[in-house]
């Protein structure tokens, strides 16, 4: 186990290239063309086109975040942006990886996500 994994409160599932979708709203802008990079019961990683992430910063609130997968709860979540990778001066194309932490998530929804992640990791 790496040092980064040791610091995590919840196991994390890589969702790249899978059947997972995500959409969200922030600062009254709908982001519909994002990819879910990873998922845990505590938050997720979002791949967002640079031009769509231009107005985002660490600390911003994401509203109406919806995880689009048949085995996950279809409820709007809120999250805070904890980190952004790839948003650098001079970069004009590509993706930004945004790490978010879920806020005000109910224990029931958190457990549904945790159960899904655990089951998916067990199949790997």
The pLDDT value given to residue 115? 97
Q: Is residue 26 part of a domain?
A: yes
Residue 1 has what pLDDT? 45
**Residue 46 placed within a domain:** yes
Average pLDDT over every residue of 93-121: 95
Answer whether residue 123 is part of any domain: no
Q: What pLDDT does 37 receive?
A: 95
Tens of pLDDT, residue by residue over 17-74, are: 778 989 999 888 899 888 999 999 999 999 999 888 888 999 999 999 999 999 999 9
Q: What is the pLDDT of residues 8-23, one digit of tens each?
A: 789 999 998 778 989 9
DSSP string of 9-68, one letter each residue: SS--EE-TTSS-EEEEEETTEEEEEEEEEEEETTEEEEEEEHHHHTT--TTPEEEEEEEE
Per the domain annotation, does 124 fall within a domain? no
Distance from C-alpha of 60 to C-alpha of 84, rounded to nearest angstrom: 11
Number of compact structural domains in the chain: 1
User: Where residue 98 sits, what CATH number does that domain have?
Assistant: 2.40.10.220
Predicted TM-score (pTM) of this structure = 0.87
- Does residue 5 surpass a pLDDT of 60? no
User: What is the span of the domain harbouring residue 52?
Assistant: 3-118
Q: Is residue 27 part of a domain?
A: yes
Residue 97 pLDDT > 90: yes
37, 27, 103, 80: CA torsion to nearest 10: 60
pLDDT of residue 23: 93
User: Is residue 38 in a domain?
Assistant: yes
C-alpha–C-alpha distance, residues 31 and 25, integer Å:
6
Residue 121, both tokens: 């990791």
Nearest to 101 by CA among 112, 111, 110: 110
């Amino acid at each position: 186990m790496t040092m980064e994994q040791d610091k995590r409160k919840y196991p994390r599932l890589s969702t790249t290239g899978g059947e997972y979708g995500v959409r969200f709203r922030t600062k009254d802008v709908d982001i519909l063309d994002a990819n879910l990079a990873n998922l845990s019961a505590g938050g997720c990683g979002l791949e967002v086109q640079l031009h769509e992430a231009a107005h985002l910063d660490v600390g911003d609130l994401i509203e109406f975040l919806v995880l689009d997968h048949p085995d996950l709860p279809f409820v709007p979540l809120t999250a805070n942006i904890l980190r952004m990778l790839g948003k650098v001066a001079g970069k004009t194309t590509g993706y930004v990886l945004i790490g978010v932490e879920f806020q005000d998530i109910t224990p029931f929804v958190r457990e549904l996500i945790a159960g899904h992640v655990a089951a998916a990791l067990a199949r790997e």
